[in-house]
Structure 1
Amino acid sequence: MSQSLSIAIVGATGNIGEALVSLLEERDFPVKDLYLLASDESAGKSLSFRDRQVRVRALDAFDFKAAQLVFCAASAEVTREYLERIVAANCSLIDLSAALPLTQAPCLLPEAGELWLATQRPPFLLSSPTPAAVAVALVTQALRSLLRPRRIGVTAMLSASTLGRAGVRELARQTAELLNGRSFEPQGVDRQIAFNVLAQIGTPDEQGHARLEARLAAELQQLLGDAHLPIAATCAQVPVFFGDSLAVTLESDTPVDVAAITACLAEAPGLELAEEGDYPTVVGDALGQDVIQVGRIRQAVADPTQLNLWIASDNVRKGAALNAVQIAELLIKHYL
């Protein structure tokens, strides 16, 4: 990387924002100036970056003309509120909030290819896929020489950090109250999440699909290059602080070769295969890792054309922040 960029991170004090700061340092990204942006409540705090403390600035007062590349790691509402200012400042944007339509800000997984970027011109508007889409697309792309799915089924068991830092705090609060025998009123969620599993995250649409489920399906179709690929997605909230677990079914036209698929996944970049007879978990294997953990690879019980497998991933680091930084690395190497 021959040049350096001035970087702004919107939502810098959130889980993903802090992970972005850490990864920019770990991967020696060529940062000229780093602007950490957050709400007025968080302004004045500081985060460590390259042996110095960088002060967090108030988002509303920031002039985006000072930056060349912006990571949006706050809520979708915040991204939409500040999008016009970011675009007017001629900044490229990598959105991690799933705020923008994929027709406006296509999602990108660097390992899956980016040739279409060559037809675009900066400033770029790009989406980093949701963590579940990153995990499923990485596995599916790794198998493209062996299996072209005609249908994908995903049951995503998502951690409280899917709801941001507030979700983590709420799970901790509910857990503490219950362990101490006290009653409570849920805050930010519609019911108890501690010691419970919620069958949906957010309000469903007229067809019964939550926004996160519809987004997951649309992102997978775009990443896999098939706008008509049938995808069944269910996103459930589980009482885990960090890390996502996914049960995935890939349906092929022909019987799947489990031995060949296992060998392929064992060699695939960005993935780590559990030892035979074992399976990965988020706490024991995925958290803090830069790879997707895969295990329980098998044919379906009654259909040899279906491949079933299990995925565990650090949703904050690998699923969100790392992919966004990899997009930035791709942009600065070839397009900016």
Structure 2
Amino acid sequence: MTRTFDIAVIGATGSVGEALVQLLEEREFPVANLHLLASGESAGRSLAFKGKSLRVRDLQGFDFASVRLAFFAASSKVTQMYAAQAAAAGCAVVDLASGLPAEQAPRLVPEVNPQVLAALNAPYLLTSPSAPAIALAAVLAALPESLVIQRLTVTACLAVSSRGREAVSELARQTAELLNGRALEPRLFDRQMAFNLLAQVEQADSDGHAALERQIAGELRQLLGVPQLPVAITCIQAPVFFGDSLTVSLQAESAIDLQQVCAALDGAPALELVERDDYPTAVGDAVGQDVVYVGRVRAGLDDPAQLNLWITSDNVRKGAALNAVQIAELLIKHYL
């Protein structure tokens, strides 16, 4: 008889939380009882799950001893407030908000570094990394072992959904105002987002780097097991609702064998390689899909040891909810 597990989803009313609930049903996750939780103002709503309408309850006062596994898909502050309580109750935690330090909750992408689980003990605290880091790690880990990366440069064009449902509504509102000839009033963003590109996604520190840029670099180093890898990353906000797109340039130790690279990318289960006469886009390809798309694979203009790539992925589904569910699938198969 297949074992089933009582599960909690914190932040169930957000876009990632709703995607989690959908994927738990799609992938036939062995759920016995599903507890949907959110902050006070979101409690009381209902979500569909396996033909039933489940009511979302207030997180405050929830007994984590009643579940074996909890997905934290709310803010990092919520994770920091409740993860220790969940762990003390013997509940495994999968954090999607990077609310815990890597030493306490290692970053995990099942296609990249599943071996980190073997070094942990119950109750398991794990983090599903940021969406850009998941997409980058999935691609870079699939490259041939003979390709040794010396330096990595990334420009990440992030969808507004990376900042939550409120940002999606803001882009829609700005777009409607401009198309109808009305004066634009930015609210969530500090300037016009519609039909525009913003050079940073959040406030930069004194050195000019955003916290997310530092986070992605750190996550990549941990996921790939290369703590000294030089990473240069710029995150920009793109006027796209869903789907991140990234340009990647890496410097290798020696000349790139493009045929070998393409064969490796084409054979990776989590990737979809688009051939040279075409290229993938977020809207046309990645959104709603469970793979990372790779295209425009080419050597450098003047340097045969340089490899350039274009990557696009659904930041909510593949880059958040699916990775978290896959982590949970590893846990229940081997550790819970």
TM-score over 0.5 for the alignment?
A: yes
Aligned to 2:73: 73
TM-score by length of 1: 0.97
Aligned to 2:211: 211
Given the alignment of the two structures, is residue 246 of structure 1 paired with residue 246 of structure 2, yes or no? yes
Aligned to 2:34: 34
8 Å contact from structure 1 (residues 205, 211) kept in 2 = yes
- Please list every run of 5 or more consecutive structure 2 residues that lacks an aligned counterpart in the other structure: none
8 Å contact from structure 2 (residues 276, 297) kept in 1 = no
User: How many Å apart are 1:276 and its aligned residue?
Assistant: 2.8
The within-5 A match list for 1:49-60 is: 49-60=49-60
User: How many Å apart are 1:103 and its aligned residue?
Assistant: 1.6
Deviations 1:245-286 (A, max 9, x none): 000112110010112111211111110011331000011111
Which residue identity lines up with residue 107 of structure 1 in the other structure? R
User: How many Å apart are 1:118 and its aligned residue?
Assistant: 1.6
8 Å contact from structure 1 (residues 254, 305) kept in 2 = yes
8 Å contact from structure 1 (residues 157, 235) kept in 2 = yes
Which residue identity lines up with residue 289 of structure 1 in the other structure? Q
Change (3 A) 1:189 1:120: same
Q: Structure 1: how far apart are the matches of 2:217 and 2:142? A: 19
Deviations 1:207-251 (A, max 9, x none): 211111011000000000011111111110000000000001121
8 Å contact from structure 1 (residues 280, 312) kept in 2 = yes
Given the alignment of the two structures, is residue 122 of structure 1 paired with residue 122 of structure 2, yes or no? yes
Q: Structure 1: how far apart are the matches of 2:138 and 2:303? A: 24
Q: Helix, strand or coil: the match of 2:149?
A: coil
Aligned identity (percent) is: 57
Which residue identity lines up with residue 98 of structure 1 in the other structure? S
Which residue identity lines up with residue 200 of structure 2 in the other structure? Q
Deviations 1:181-228 (A, max 9, x none): 222432222222111111111111222111110110000000000111
Q: Which moved more, 1:82-91 or 1:239-248?
A: 82-91
- Please list every run of 5 or more consecutive structure 1 residues that lacks an aligned counterpart in the other structure: none
Aligned to 1:150: 150
Q: Which moved more, 1:224-233 or 1:188-197?
A: 188-197
Which residue identity lines up with residue 296 of structure 1 in the other structure? R
Aligned to 1:94: 94
Q: Structure 2: how far apart are the matches of 1:331 and 1:171? A: 38
Q: Structure 1: how far apart are the matches of 2:58 and 2:251? A: 48
Q: Helix, strand or coil: the match of 1:246?
A: strand
User: How many Å apart are 1:105 and its aligned residue?
Assistant: 1.0
User: How many Å apart are 1:78 and its aligned residue?
Assistant: 1.8
Q: Helix, strand or coil: the match of 1:250?
A: strand
Aligned to 2:307: 307
Aligned to 1:162: 162
8 Å contact from structure 2 (residues 108, 116) kept in 1 = no
CA RMSD of superposed structures (Å): 1.3
The within-5 A match list for 1:176-187 is: 176-187=176-187
8 Å contact from structure 1 (residues 154, 248) kept in 2 = yes
User: How many Å apart are 1:85 and its aligned residue?
Assistant: 2.3
Q: Structure 2: how far apart are the matches of 1:98 and 1:83? A: 11
Aligned to 2:285: 285
8 Å contact from structure 1 (residues 146, 261) kept in 2 = no
Which residue identity lines up with residue 21 of structure 2 in the other structure? V
Q: Structure 2: how far apart are the matches of 1:48 and 1:206? A: 46
Q: Helix, strand or coil: the match of 1:111?
A: coil
8 Å contact from structure 1 (residues 3, 332) kept in 2 = no
Deviations 1:114-133 (A, max 9, x none): 22322211111111011111
Change (3 A) 1:77 1:184: farther
Q: Structure 2: how far apart are the matches of 1:236 and 1:113? A: 27
Moved over 3 A (4+): none
Q: Structure 2: how far apart are the matches of 1:224 and 1:26? A: 29
Q: Structure 1: how far apart are the matches of 2:167 and 2:144? A: 36
Which residue identity lines up with residue 191 of structure 2 in the other structure? R
